[in-house]
């Protein structure tokens, strides 16, 4: 919940605007005394938007400040709605909130946290979207400063997790490092470090463990809890790394299991007996099988859940028993991530915020060199960029998938939308179920061009690539003919290159046989790029020599017309 405090008329108007824009998310705190309302918001909300001056806000909150990991995020907005200043908890929601406010209030976000300025991943939120937690937050500032100042920082345990990049001074082989970052689910930390080392090592707990539990009906929560704690301790793994408790469907309402999990802040997932009986386990039991239909509950559910969340799993604690319960712990091998990212047609403001975020989130970027050039300034320090030249599509696709299969966070980039005549299909032809794939849509060349020309795509249309590199000409020709007969507006991609110069005239000839000579033809070269050029002509007058491989060509249906110099295809619900 976002608490909103205002003291002036314009503040109150803006507060009401926010409440209307983000229903259910905003609570406007009205009090005679804004300071009291602010204190109340601090106590009861996750975030605060204060329409009071930064100074006034800080004076009220200063005595209440605890640790940044637990305090609410605070953003102050000035009286003229010019700036939204992330004052407290920048990496705990304030930066994001300050940016979100732009959309509603038109304010400019003011962000002062160091890592954002340096385009470096913030350690506070490093791996948070994967479920990482910080074990020793007191070291965040110290290690964060080392990361930013370029000092050598030892990185341990990151391999296999699809994490965002850290700058090159943070590395597994950093020499003479006196600070470090360790990612581990092992309970014991000192054994991995040299003497005197651990004091400076920031430790992250990854969500790598699943606790499998079985029990008799009516088992007490205390017994389940003690068994879980003991099993984790004996296996030498950290409770902070437990992702969830897993059991059989039959136990979905077993209060002792639910309570023991809830006390520890864990969710419970359950599976049918049939699913669990298919899992191979070291300690099956015939008695259990006769009772519930699977020879293992604890081991099988731990392994099965870990495989669902990851790409593989191993048991780190085989089954242990108490009088009425069983417990086992599995560790998962994380799944890598492949983001397939469309960069849009060229202009930076047509690159979506989500695509930009996907580029920052990736530790490996794979793409054609000219597309990498389009976004090079957004690439964070430490990101591996694997760029290659024209024509190596299959190799690029394979590289991207292989990097993701190794557990990395990969962005495979393409112009326009990466799924339209681009990299998504070759990549997904190789990709297995062992990686997560996230498609990030982009604005296509066709959409960019049609907006420049008018409204050519207002009714049914067909996209046809005229490149016969991957498709035989007979097939292309058949499709052009079908589009001609179906009276579709047609958008030609890859219309013409130096070596392929006869296909476009041939295609236009087919269309001309089915629609009037004054049918509009629009072509746009380098849409939204600095040397953009849009031309509107007709089927009778079009000169294919004006077209090259940086162009899309749009040919109207028999209903399309030029209106005031714009290409318009009517919607068609008033068909005469």
Residues of this chain that interact with ligand SAH (CB under 6 A) are 345-346, 414-417, 420-422, 444-445, 449, 493-495, 524, 526-529, 549-552
Dihedral of alpha carbons 471, 472, 477, 478, sign:
negative
CB of 377 to ligand SAH, least distance (A): 19
Sheet hosting strand 520-525, strand order edge to edge? 461-465, 489-493, 551-555, 520-525, 533-538
Segment (H or E) for 382:
none
Map tokens 């050519």 to a residue.
456
CB of 486 to ligand SAH, least distance (A): 22
Nearer to ligand SAH, 215 or 551 (CB): 551
Spatial separation of the C-alpha atoms in residues 565 and 537, rounded to whole Å: 10
CB of 449 to ligand SAH, least distance (A): 6
SS3 content of the chain, % helix, strand, coil (to 5): 35, 25, 40
Nearer to ligand SAH, 225 or 414 (CB): 414
Contact partners, residue 564, CB within 8 Å, separation at least 6 = none
Nearer to ligand SAH, 451 or 551 (CB): 551
Nearer to ligand SAH, 115 or 528 (CB): 528
Contact 371, 414 (CB under 8 A): yes
Q: Look at the chain and count its residues.
A: 576
Contact partners, residue 432, CB within 8 Å, separation at least 6 = 405
DSSP assignment of 170-232, as one string?
EETT-TT-SEEEEE--BS--GGGS-TTTGGGEEEEE-S-EEEEEEE-TT--HHHHHHHHHHHH
Q: Quick one: which of 277, 284, 325, 285 has its CA closest to 304? A: 277
Nearer to ligand SAH, 85 or 449 (CB): 449
Q: What is the SS3 assignment for 93?
A: coil
Q: Which residue is nearest to ligand SAH (CB)?
A: 416
Nearer to ligand SAH, 358 or 552 (CB): 552
Q: Quick one: which of 358, 344, 348, 334 has its CA closest to 439? A: 358
Q: Which two tokens stand for residue 181?
A: 């970052």
CB of 403 to ligand SAH, least distance (A): 21
* Phi, psi angles (nearest 5°) of residue 321: -125, 150
CB of 279 to ligand SAH, least distance (A): 42
Strands 551-555 and 520-525 turn out to be antiparallel
Nearer to ligand SAH, 29 or 483 (CB): 483
CB of 245 to ligand SAH, least distance (A): 45
Spatial separation of the C-alpha atoms in residues 299 and 330, rounded to whole Å: 8
CB of 397 to ligand SAH, least distance (A): 14
CB of 524 to ligand SAH, least distance (A): 5
Nearer to ligand SAH, 407 or 495 (CB): 495
CB of 458 to ligand SAH, least distance (A): 19
Angular region, 106: left φ>0, alpha ψ -120 to 50, beta rest = left
CB of 413 to ligand SAH, least distance (A): 10
Map tokens 């699977």 to a residue.
294
CB of 399 to ligand SAH, least distance (A): 19
Nearer to ligand SAH, 184 or 551 (CB): 551
Nearer to ligand SAH, 414 or 544 (CB): 414
Alpha helices in 272-382 (DSSP H): 273-277, 286-292, 298-309, 353-361, 369-375
Nearer to ligand SAH, 306 or 351 (CB): 351
Contact 496, 549 (CB under 8 A): yes
CB of 556 to ligand SAH, least distance (A): 18
Q: Which two tokens stand for residue 536?
A: 């509107």
């Amino acid at each position: 919940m976002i608490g909103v405090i205002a003291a002036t008329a314009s503040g109150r108007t803006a507060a009401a605007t926010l409440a209307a824009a983000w229903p259910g998310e905003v609570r406007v705190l009205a009090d005679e005394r804004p300071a009291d309302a602010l204190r109340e918001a601090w106590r009861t909300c996750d975030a605060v938007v204060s329409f009071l001056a930064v100074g006034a806000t800080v004076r009220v909150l200063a005595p209440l400040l605890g640790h940044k990991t637990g305090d609410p995020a605070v953003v102050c907005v000035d009286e003229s709605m010019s700036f939204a200043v992330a004052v407290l908890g920048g990496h705990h929601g304030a930066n994001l909130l300050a940016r979100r406010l732009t959309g509603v209030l038109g304010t400019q976000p003011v962000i002062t946290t160091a890592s954002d300025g340096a385009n470096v991943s913030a350690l506070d939120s490093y791996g948070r979207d994967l479920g990482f937690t910080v074990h020793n937050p007191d070291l965040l500032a110290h290690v964060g400063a080392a990361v930013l100042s370029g000092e050598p920082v030892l990185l341990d345990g990151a391999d296999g997790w699809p994490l965002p990049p850290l700058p090159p001074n943070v590395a597994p082989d950093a020499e003479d490092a006196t600070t470090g970052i360790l990612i581990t689910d092992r309970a014991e930390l000192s054994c991995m470090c040299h003497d005197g080392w651990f004091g400076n090592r920031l430790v992250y707990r990854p969500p790598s463990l699943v606790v499998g539990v079985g029990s008799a009906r009516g088992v007490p929560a205390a017994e389940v809890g003690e068994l879980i704690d003991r099993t984790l301790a004996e296996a030498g793994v950290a409770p902070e790394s437990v992702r969830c408790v897993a059991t059989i469907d039959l136990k979905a309402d077993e209060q002792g299991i639910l309570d023991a999990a809830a006390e520890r802040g864990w969710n419970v997932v359950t599976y049918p007996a049939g699913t669990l009986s298919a899992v191979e386990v070291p300690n099956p039991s015939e008695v259990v099988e006769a009772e519930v239909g699977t020879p293992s509950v604890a081991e099988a559910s731990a392994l099965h859940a870990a495989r669902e969340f990851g790409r593989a799993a191993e048991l780190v604690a085989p089954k242990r028993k108490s009088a009425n319960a069983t417990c086992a712990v599995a560790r998962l091998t994380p799944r890598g991530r492949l983001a397939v990212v469309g960069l849009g047609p060229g202009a930076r403001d047509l690159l979506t915020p989500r695509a930009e975020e996907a580029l920052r989130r990736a530790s490996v970027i794979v793409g054609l060199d000219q597309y990498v050039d389009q976004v090079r300034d957004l690439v964070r320090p430490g990101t591996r960029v694997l760029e290659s030249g024209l024509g190596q599509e299959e190799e690029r696709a394979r590289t991207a998938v292989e990097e993701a299969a190794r557990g990395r966070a990969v962005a495979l980039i393409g112009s326009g939308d990466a799924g339209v005549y681009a990299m998504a299909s070759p990549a997904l032809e190789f990709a297995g179920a062992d990686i997560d794939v996230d498609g990030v849509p982009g604005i296509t060349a066709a959409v960019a061009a049609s907006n420049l020309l008018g409204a050519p795509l207002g009714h049914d249309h067909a996209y046809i690539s005229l490149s016969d590199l991957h498709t035989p000409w007979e097939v292309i020709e058949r499709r052009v003919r079908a589009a001609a007969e179906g009276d579709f507006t047609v958008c030609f991609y890859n219309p013409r290159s130096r070596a392929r110069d006869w296909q476009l005239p041939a295609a236009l000839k087919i269309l001309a046989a089915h629609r009037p000579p004054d049918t509009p033809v629009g072509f746009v070269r380098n849409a939204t790029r600095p040397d953009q050029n849009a031309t509107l002509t007709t089927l009778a007058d079009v000169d294919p020599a004006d077209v090259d491989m940086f162009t899309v060509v749009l040919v109207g249906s028999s209903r399309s017309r030029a209106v005031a110099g714009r290409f318009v295809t009517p919607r068609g619900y008033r068909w005469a």
